[in-house]
Amino acid sequence: MNADKRHQIFERLRAANPHPTTELEYTTPFELLIAVILSAQATDVSVNKATRKLYPVANTPASIYALGVDGLIPYVQTIGLYKTKAKNVIETCRLLVEQHDGQVPREREALQALPGVGRKTANVVLNTAFGVPAMAVDTHIFRVSNRTGIAPGKNVDIVEQKLMKFVPSEFLMDAHHWLILHGRYTCLARTPQCWNCVILDLCEFRKKTPAPSKAI
């Protein structure tokens, strides 16, 4: 795909949604971090239902850490893998309190040192909470990037590298939100809604999108 076509694609996505953001509900970087940890292999809807009950009770590292794993589980048990996630959240809160004065670090290395925080989660926090151009490649972005031809790659790392290189700088801050939402609501995995696609004529449809070679 040439640069002009990529530019047109993101121009249209921006025109359709000028101010995209995550569908996870949060008010602070810490609330976003916890929500993203909980969202692994779960829907944003299920996470929002849980955090709507949790955050009015505890929404700081110290207050959630004080709940302990057993105290946190009742709030998150409707989310997949809730036992592991509860342990990761409590340990993350401990480290934030003990090593970061209760603040979410702005450095990738420090974020990824927290339990339950991989590269994708760190990218979401860096981009959405701190305004850092970053590309959080989830299954939606991986699929859309390959299927459309925007940034084809055999694994999430390659797709991320290509997106960071090929997405025009003026769109880079919001690009991952546009791609996620496009994959979630239009460019569906099994039955893409091409009839409802604003970039249909620019898309270089890949019928055989490769499966990610590593967990996302």
Q: pLDDT tens digits for 92-138?
A: 999 999 999 999 999 999 999 999 999 999 999 999 999 999 999 99
For the chain, the structural domain boundaries read: 3-20+135-202, 29-130
Burial classification of residue 81, based on how many CB atoms lie within 10 Å of its CB (0-12 exposed, 13-18 middle, 19 or more buried): middle
Q: 3-20+135-202 and 29-130: same fold? A: no
User: The tokens of 132 are what?
Assistant: 């850092």
- How does pLDDT run across 18-49, given as a tens digit for each residue? 999 999 999 999 999 999 999 988 999 999 99
User: What is the dotted CATH code of the domain comprising 29-130?
Assistant: 1.10.340.30
123 phi and psi, to 5 degrees?
-65, -40
What integer is the mean pLDDT of 206-212?
53
Q: Is the pLDDT of residue 215 over 50?
A: no
Q: 210 pLDDT band (50/70/90 cuts)?
A: low
Indicate the average pLDDT of the chain: 93
CB 68 within 8 A of CB 157: no
pLDDT tens digits for 45-61?
A: 999 999 999 999 999 99
The catalytic residues are: 120, 138
- Indicate the pLDDT class of residue 205, thresholds 50, 70 and 90: confident
Predicted confidence (pLDDT) at residue 211 exceeds the cutoff of 90 = no
pLDDT in tens, 150-180: 999 999 999 999 999 999 999 999 999 999 9
Of the CA atoms within 13 Å of residue 12, those in its CB half-sphere come to 15
pLDDT exceeds 80 at position 200: yes
| Whole-number Å distance between alpha carbons of 131 and 161 | 19
Tokens 């090593």 correspond to 99
Quote the pTM value.
Answer: 0.88
CATH 1.10.10.60 assigned to domain 3-20+135-202? The reply is: no
Q: What is the CA radius of gyration of the chain?
A: 18
